[in-house]
Amino acid sequence: MTRDEIKTAVLAALRRVAPEVDPASVRGDAPIRDQADLDSMDFLNFLLQLHAALGVDIPESAYREVATLDGCIAYLSANGAQLQAAKPGDR
Amino acid sequence: MPTSNPDTQAVPTEFRMPSLGADMQFGTVVAWLVKPGDHVKHGDIIAEVETEKGVFAVEIGSDGVIDELSVAKGAKVPVGTVLARLRGEGVAAVSTGTPAEKPQAVAPPPPAAPAAAPSKVPAPTPSPPRAPAPPHEHALHASPLARKIAEAKGIDLATLTGTGPGGAITKADVERGAAGPAPPGAPPPAEARAPTEPRPTTETLSAMRHAVATAVTRSKREIPHYYLAANVNLGSALAWLGAYNAAHGVADRVLPAALLLKSVALALREYPLLNGFWTDGAARKSEAIHLGVAISLRDGGLIAPAIHDADRLSIDALMRALSDLVQRARSGGLRSSEMTDPTVTVSNLGDEGASSVFGIIYPPQVALVGFGSISERPWAERGLLGVRPVVTVTLAADHRATDGHYGSRFLAAIDRLLQAPESL
Q: What are B351-400's pLDDT values in tens digits?
A: 878 999 999 999 999 999 999 999 999 999 999 999 999 999 999 999 99
Q: Compute the nearest-CA separation of B105 from chain A (Å).
A: 47
Alpha-carbon span A38 to A46, nearest angstrom: 9
Q: Report the complex ipTM.
A: 0.91
Query: ∠B375-B379-B384 over CA atoms, to 5°?
Result: 155
Q: What is the pTM of this model?
A: 0.75
- pLDDT, tens digit (0-9, with 9 covering 90-100), for B82-100: 999 998 887 777 655 545 4
Cβ within 8 Å, pair A39-B253: no
Q: Compute the nearest-CA separation of A89 from chain B (Å).
A: 8
Q: Compute the nearest-CA separation of A20 from chain B (Å).
A: 7
- pLDDT, tens digit (0-9, with 9 covering 90-100), for A77-87: 999 999 988 66
Q: Where are the alpha helices (DSSP H) in B247-303?
A: 256-270
Q: Compute the nearest-CA separation of A25 from chain B (Å).
A: 10
CA distances (Å), B136 to each of B75, B115, B155, in order?
16, 27, 11
Higher confidence at residue B286 or residue B120? B286
With bands split at pLDDT 50, 70 and 90, how would you rate the model's confidence at B200?
A: very low
Residue B152 confidence (pLDDT): 67
Q: Is A2 part of the contact surface with chain B (CB cutoff 8 Å)? A: no
Comparing alpha-carbon positions, the chain A residue that sits nearest to B195 is A20
Comparing alpha-carbon positions, the chain B residue that sits nearest to A63 is B250
- pLDDT, tens digit (0-9, with 9 covering 90-100), for B242-293: 999 999 999 999 999 999 999 999 999 999 999 999 999 999 999 999 999 9
What residues of B are in contact with residue A24 (Cβ under 8 Å)?
190-191
What mean pLDDT comes out for the span A24-38?
93
Residue B183 confidence (pLDDT): 45
Chain A and chain B share a number of CB contacts under 8 A equal to: 67
With bands split at pLDDT 50, 70 and 90, how would you rate the model's confidence at B151?
A: low
Q: Is A19 part of the contact surface with chain B (CB cutoff 8 Å)? A: yes
What residues of A are in contact with residue B249 (Cβ under 8 Å)?
57
Residue B142 confidence (pLDDT): 62
Nearest to B59 by CA among B76, B47, B71, B72: B47
Residue B380 confidence (pLDDT): 96
- On whether the CB atoms of residues B133 and B298 are closer than 8 A, the answer is no
Alpha-carbon span B133 to B1, nearest angstrom: 42
Residues of B known to be catalytic: 399, 403
Using a 10 angstrom Cβ sphere, with 0-12 exposed, 13-18 middle and 19 or more buried, the burial of residue A52 is: middle
On the question of pLDDT at A63 being above 80, the answer is yes
What mean pLDDT comes out for the span A9-21?
93
In chain B, the percentage of residues whose pLDDT exceeds 90 is 56
Per-residue b or e along A14-36, where b marks 16 or more CB atoms closer than 10 Å to that residue's CB: bbbbbbbbebeebeeeeebbebb
Cβ within 8 Å, pair B245-A39: no
Q: Is A86 part of the contact surface with chain B (CB cutoff 8 Å)? A: no
Q: Which of A4, A39, A48 would you mutate first to test chain B, the one with the most B CBs within 10 A?
A: A39
Q: Is B12 helix (H, G, I), strand (E, B) or coil?
A: coil
What residues of A are in contact with residue B163 (Cβ under 8 Å)?
15-16, 19
What mean pLDDT comes out for the span B224-251?
97
